[in-house]
Structure 1
């Protein structure tokens, strides 16, 4: 696994969901804050996203994608923000039944869009995910983000009209792919971000690839420095400055975070999970896990099962 894939996998839970709809005339829908991430993709026409908290309105045109990675509340409307627009917003779930499915043919002058959400576990978010802004707007520009455009086209086709064979497998997979491509596209555009700098640095990136590829290996600073092709002091200085913690501290945190993911997503016994994340005994893993997360692995697993 690579860092971005691991960062997403650590927080992704459940199955994503999405609707394709066509809205016409004057309309305004509110999306309440959500324990996860929301997204909108405009397939045809245009609309406005009005963030809660007084953020600047975002104009969305055909082909634009927008991700709300922290589940911020917002309004989607046919016109820019003003007090009257926000006041008339109705909960998305209470839109007229005829407005939620495709209620008008393409080209009718309305807006056709995909709206969806991902369930996320916010208890142990990777710093790469925390760095994402409240609203990630990815405008449709010629030649920009071709993988994202392809995913949008495929997803729109699967959600349009009658359900086709295999759609129950295709749609969740495409939604997961869409999330990866939206985050990848944001990182490509946000050259000033901390984690863009981390993954763009050859030393820090090489060390992170090694740790994420085999977190159970008996890593030491010397061994990791050799993997990155630099001296131990150089690794410690550059890694700590960019990542925000020393290499071995990051490794400990990631082992426990990965262990939490395995507790949530598998039925593997504690001893097997301990070995997979680099702990010699279940006791050693349990002690470290409890210190990091404030609960035992067993209680954590039980709570995750209840929330699923």
Structure 2
């Protein structure tokens, strides 16, 4: 199915010229769950950075990064409307369901993207703004329009887009990048493949129907399970690095180590799954825990950043 062959839903065809979209539909275009993760990781980058920002400018910078993520999400939904329509997980999204016209989603995504970059440049600095523009382009063009449909390593390379927000925020606070910001990037980057491959294991039929070359559909379940376990072995120690490098407390290091060990334990259960497992319970458990894992790490780092910057308490 090509993009040009896609039409609107029957409802939208029955009422030509009348928009079926409600404010909630445009909010859904922003991928609010993804945006909430971007806000958390970007806020962590802002507060972990050694250079403090004016609170108002910091808030505006965080808003700009969030809007950039939302704009790229809208562009992703605009372009992916053909495959979203055939996947049960995404068929109800605003564009494939016909509630938002494709051209409106495109205009909305472009406007938000441009506005977010300009806003970050004015609130922080133009290096951070350029970094944000690169991040948006990386996700909306490089990943969405090419990698996602062309290679089984799509989520590995494309996952960098979701890993950039703490570095963008660090750049907003300091005007540059550093090893600390790169470590925050690396945690998300290494987390993304096992997180999405666990999902792909129990959504193989969806991805197969959409023609997306996710690893389980291309290399098989056994290879995917091995990849998940291998990434978990690397992710677990990297999650502890903020404490090792001194920009997080030893308590964070203990918490990260325990969470990392549990991540490896659950990944090992996935590794031992038999081929053709219908229930996919270990994969579903790892997927659910992976969300908790990343949230817990960055929420802890964020809390330590608040204590340090707002309350003046040195916790690292």
TM (normalized to structure 1)?
0.32
TM (normalized to structure 2)?
0.31
Higher helix proportion, which one?
2
